[in-house]
Structure 1
Amino acid sequence: MAPLRRLRLWLLLALLPPPPAAPAPAPAPAPAPLRRPDWAACRVLSRELARLLGTVREPHPVLEGMQLLEEEPQNWPPRIRCSDACDPLTLESNHTRCLHRIRQALQHYRDLLGSDVFREQPQPQLETAMEQLLRHVPDGHGRVPRDPLAPTERWEQPLRRHLALKRLRSFAALIGRVFNHGAR
């Protein structure tokens, strides 16, 4: 009799409607696509930045030939490293990381140009060029707010200005190569 009971049980189970399916999980929202940079505009603006930097003269000529060494203070820009993928081969497949680092550095230099380091020798044309470049360099992480830089002593300002301009010239040369390659 047990086999007959099993058969009836199987028949009843077969006639029952299937249990309601669990709702499918909602797909995770896709991140907003990173807009493509305007490589040609960035190339033109980076060349303009380099040209403007070539016109900036040091008010203290003795600093021109000096090599200043210092530990890495907190308020110097992020450096572009090999791991930032700014080399030509990686730029062709994925430029996101490189552009993010370039944007961070541009924002830092813009803030530095507006700080007390450049109070005695303001550089409005350089600041404008930075702002224009920032408008063309996309960033998937949103706009980073301006961070107030630590105030500097009056005697430090010419030294910090000299270091900032020296590093900004190197940075401008590097981004010029990145944007030149991207614009091809």
Structure 2
Amino acid sequence: MAPLRRLCLWLLLALLPPPPAAPAPAPLRRPDWAACRGLSRELSRLLGTVREPHPVLEGMQLLEEEPQNWPPRIRCSDACDPLTLESNHTRCLHRIRQALQHYRDLLGSDIFRDQPQPQLETTMEQLLRHVQDGHGRPPRYPLAPTKVWEQPLQRHLALKRLRSFAAVMSRVFNHSAR
């Protein structure tokens, strides 16, 4: 009796329609790497034209504060290497997005009040739109005011770090745009 029951169940299962296939995962939206490369190059070019209003700051090396106070920067763990970018670029773009938001907020803060950088802000905003990947418009976070005497030093440090970040970011976009 048991073998007959198994045969009936097997025939019944064979006649049933197959279960619906699981929906395919949504493909990762690939950013426009060529546009990102062009904008990152423009950002680097614009950074090269920014001059210190106080020439003594040009050659000055400021000591870095504690690492927990550093702005977002691309690290090895961010998977921005060429091999990882081919298959999964989300972590790398997340880090780039964080840093771009940070520097955009810095450019809009009081440390650049005496030396506004509208072209830098515009280029950074355009680049930020390209790496958003469906996250909507990034909010602006107002920064705490700085003392007037600190502003030139803070501006110098911010531009130095932004130049360094822009160089690494350009390498990421240059590779990805190939």
What TM-score results when the alignment is normalised by the length of structure 1?
0.79
> Is the 8 Å Cα contact of residues 49 and 126 (structure 1) preserved in structure 2?
yes
What TM-score results when the alignment is normalised by the length of structure 2?
0.81
Aligned length: 178
Partner Cα separation in structure 2 for residue 162 and residue 73 of structure 1: 18
Query: Alpha carbon RMSD of aligned pairs, Å?
Result: 5.2
| CA apart distance, 1:146 | 1.4
| CA apart distance, 1:36 | 1.2
Q: Which runs of 5+ in 1 are unaligned?
A: 23-28
Distance 1:62 1:137, change over 3 A: same
| CA apart distance, 1:144 | 3.9
Match of 1:176 in 2: 170
Residue of 44, 51, 56 corresponding to 2:38:
44
Distance 1:60 1:179, change over 3 A: same
Distance 1:34 1:150, change over 3 A: farther
Q: Give the number of the structure whose alpha-carbon radius of gyration is greater.
A: 1
Farther off after superposition, 5-14 or 90-99: 5-14
Distance 1:75 1:131, change over 3 A: farther
Farther off after superposition, 152-161 or 3-12: 3-12
| CA apart distance, 1:70 | 3.7
Distance 1:90 1:153, change over 3 A: same
| Identity level (%) | 91
Partner Cα separation in structure 2 for residue 93 and residue 42 of structure 1: 18
What do residues 56-103 of structure 1 show as CA deviations (whole Å, max 9, x unaligned)?
001111111111014248775212111001111111111100001001
